[in-house]
Amino acid sequence: MEENTNKVGGQIGNKNSIKSNRLWAETIRRAVVQDDAQRLRQIAEALLTKASEGDMAAIKELGDRLDGKSLQENKLTGDSDEPVMIKIVTGIE
């Protein structure tokens, strides 16, 4: 079984997201390092300025970049002898 398939042979994940196929990321990386990474420093300064002004999105981004994103724990509790009902709501009728 290939690495990118599930137990029944179906495709898992985004097959276009392999590192060799990340055109957007590679283009941004090249642009960022031009001019001795001056643009990156300008972006970082702008983010710091926004965060210091109280912009919550900028504060969250800084926290995520510095400390890493917080892990989300999902815990399912209940009677292990009873079946679990899962309802998927799509909004499509």
Q: What is the 3-state secondary structure (H, E, C) of 20-86?
A: HHCHHHHHHHHHHHHHHHHHHHHHHHHHHHHHHCCCHHHHHHHHHHHHCCCCCCCCCCCCCCCCCCC
- pLDDT mean over 61-82: 81
Q: Which two tokens stand for residue 67?
A: 């400390």
Give the chain's mean pLDDT: 79
- pLDDT mean over 55-80: 84
**Higher-confidence position of 85 and 66:** 66
Write down the pTM of the prediction. 0.50
- pLDDT mean over 13-33: 77
- Rounded to whole angstroms, how far apart are CA atoms 17 and 4? 11
pLDDT at 1: 43
